[in-house]
Amino acid sequence: MGLMQSHPLLISSLLVHAERHHGDSEIVSRRIEGDLHRYQWRDMARRARQVARVLDDIQLPLSGRVGTLAWNGYRHLELYFGVSGSGRVLHTINPRLHPDQIAWIANHAGDQVLCFDLTFLPLVQAVHSQCPTILYYVALCDQKDLPSDSGIPGLISYESWIEKQPEDYTWPQFDENAASSMCYTSGTTGHPKGVLYSHRSTVLHAYSAALPDSMAISARDAVLPVVPMFHVNAWGIPYAAALTGCKLVFPGKQLDGKSVYQLIEEEGVTFAAGVPTVWQMLLDHMKNENLRFSTLRRTVIGGAACPPAMIQAFQAQYGVEVIHAWGMTETSPLGSLCTLKNKSLTLPADEQMKLRCKQGRAPFGCDFKIVGDDGEPLPWDGKTFGDLYVKGPWVVRDYFPGTEEGALVDGWFPTGDVATIDTDGYMHITDRSKDVIKSGGEWISSIEIENIAMAHPAVQLAACVGVSHPKWDERPIIVVVTRPGMALDKQELLAFYDGKIAKWQIPDDVVFVDEIPLGATGKMLKSRIRQMPEISALREPAAEE
C-alpha cells in the first residue's frame, strides 16, 4: 500500500479550505428584498457551522433530509455546506414544478426540514398539509420579515433559527461515500426520479469542474451561477468555488437581461453559467441597449443545446468564449464540455465554430460510448449516431431509494440521448431519443432544425416537433416565436433552410405562436408543445403527399 495520508473527500473539507486560504474572497447576493448582500467566505463558513449546530440541536439524524425551495443566494449556500458537512442530506427542490409534484418529491425524499425563500410562501402554504414527514419549516429571512399569520405550523425565521448557536463546530469525519445531497429529475416522463449524490462524487466533480478544459475556475475569477442552485447543484459551481476560493455572485430571483447585465458589470464577473433561454434574454437586452461587457470572459452554456447563433454572438460580438456543455441530473451534471484541442486552434474560423457547437469532450471522470440497437459500440467517426451511455465516479448507479437491479446496463448508464462521437472524442448530441423525428425510416435531428431557425434574425425562439404522417410516419414542424416588431412569413423561413440541410429534412410547416412553453429549468417543453392546439390540428395531414 502507498504510504500517504488518507483523508475522506468531504464537502466540509472544501469549506475548511476556502475559509483558511480564501477567507476574504467575497460572496455577493442579490436578495429577494432587492438589495445586495455582501460578505466573505469566512463569514459564510461561520454561519454554515451554526447551521450544522442547529441541526444537531434538533437532533436531525445523520442522512436526515433538509429540503430547500430557494433562489441562488448566501443563505442557500450556507445550507449547501452546513447540511451536507454535518452529515445530513441537502435536497434542493425545483420551485417551478407543479405543487403536487413538489409534495410528491418531498414525501418521496422523506424531507424533515424545509427551508424556503419567502417568494415561495404561497407554495409552502399550498403543500404543507400534504407533507407529513416535514417537522420544521424555516423561512430564509430575518425575524422581522416573518409573516405572523402564515398558517404554517411552527414557522421560524432562518436568522432566529441559527443566531443563538455557537460559531465553532468540529466537522464530523465519515465515509466519503456517504450521501450528501439529492436532486430529482424534472419528470418529463412519469414521476421524477431521485439522484442521491455522495461526498466523494461531489468533491471529485468539483475538482474536475475547475480544470482548464472544463470551466477553468480559479481564485482570480468572479463567478455568476445564473443556473439555479435547484438545477443540479448549480452545475457544481458552489463546490468548485470553495475549492478555488473565487468570488461568487448570486442573482437571486432577478434573471431578466437587465438585472443580470447590471450584476455582471458592477461585480466584475469574469465567468457565468446558464441555460440558453436565460442567455437569450441577456443578449436581447444588450442588443437593444447597444451594450458591451467589460469583464466577462467565459460562459458555460448547457442544459439544452446551445444554438450556434448564440455561440457566434457571444464570441464575435462580445468577445466572450462559450463553453458548450452537456450533462444531466444523473451526471452531477458535467458529462462533457467543449473546449478545443491544440491542433484545432489552427483550423479556419468556421471549422472551429462547428466544433464549438458540439457538446464536447469527456472530462476524466465521465467516460462515454455510443451503442446501436444491439447494444454493440458504434464507431467514433462523427457520423454514426447511437444511444449515449456514460460511466464514472459522479454518474448515478441507481435512483433513490435504490433497487436490486440498479439503473445500469453492463456498468454503463443509458442517458436517453442520441449522439455521434468524432475521431477526436468530441460528442455531439443529435437529440433526445424521444424527440428525434423518424421520417420514412430516416432520423431527423430536431436540434439541427431548431438551430437553423434560431439563426434567422427575426426568430426569437424555435422548437421542432414531429407530427404523425400517413406516408412518412412523422414529419418535422417548426414552431416559432418571432422577435418583437419583426415580420416573418412561412415561405421566407422555409426558404432559409434551402442549402443548409437535405430537402427531405426541411420542416413541412411553420406554426407561429406567441409563446413556447418552458419547463421548470428553462428548457422548451416538447411534450406540451406537441399538445398545443395549433400542433394537434396538424396531426391529420392530407393523405396525399
Interaction site with ligand ADP (CB under 6 A) = 185-186, 188, 302-305, 324-329, 359, 415-417, 429, 432, 521, 523
What's the sign of the alpha-carbon dihedral 488, 494, 496, 497? positive
Active site residue 164: no
How far is residue 50 CA from its own chain's centroid? 29
Active site residue 443: yes
CB 545 to ligand ADP: min, Å: 30
Strands (DSSP E) found in 503-543 = 509-512
Residue type present at position 197 = Y
SS3 helix, strand, coil % of the chain, rounded to 5? 35, 25, 40
Active site residue 380: no
Kindly list the distances between the CA atom of residue 222 and the CA atoms of 113, 130, 163, 271, 273, in Å, as whole numbers in the listed order.
Answer: 32, 41, 29, 6, 12
Kindly name the residue from 438, 471, 492, 534 that is annotated as catalytic.
438
Burial of 98 (0-12, 13-18, 19+ CB in 10 A): exposed
User: Where would I find the H helices in 292-347?
Assistant: 308-312, 318
- By beta carbon distance, the residue nearest ligand ADP is 186
Grouping H, G, I as helix, E, B as strand and the rest as coil, residue 45 is helix
Strand partners, 275: none
Pairing of strands 179-184, 194-198: antiparallel
Kindly name the residue from 321, 380, 443, 474 that is annotated as catalytic.
443
Grouping H, G, I as helix, E, B as strand and the rest as coil, residue 453 is helix
Active site residue 438: yes
Distance, CA of 390 to CA of 237 (rounded, Å): 21
Kindly name the residue from 78, 159, 176, 330 that is annotated as catalytic.
330
Distance, CA of 282 to CA of 271 (rounded, Å): 14
Pairing of strands 26-30, 36-40: antiparallel
Is the CB of 121 or the CB of 390 nearer to ligand ADP?
Answer: 390
CB 408 to ligand ADP: min, Å: 16
Is the CB of 244 or the CB of 329 nearer to ligand ADP?
Answer: 329
CB 328 to ligand ADP: min, Å: 4
Contacts of 335 (CB under 8 A, 6+ apart): 325, 326, 327, 328, 362, 366, 368, 390, 395, 415
Distance, CA of 442 to CA of 502 (rounded, Å): 12
Q: Are 262 and 295 in contact (CB under 8 A)?
A: no
Q: Which residues are known catalytic residues?
A: 185, 330, 438, 443
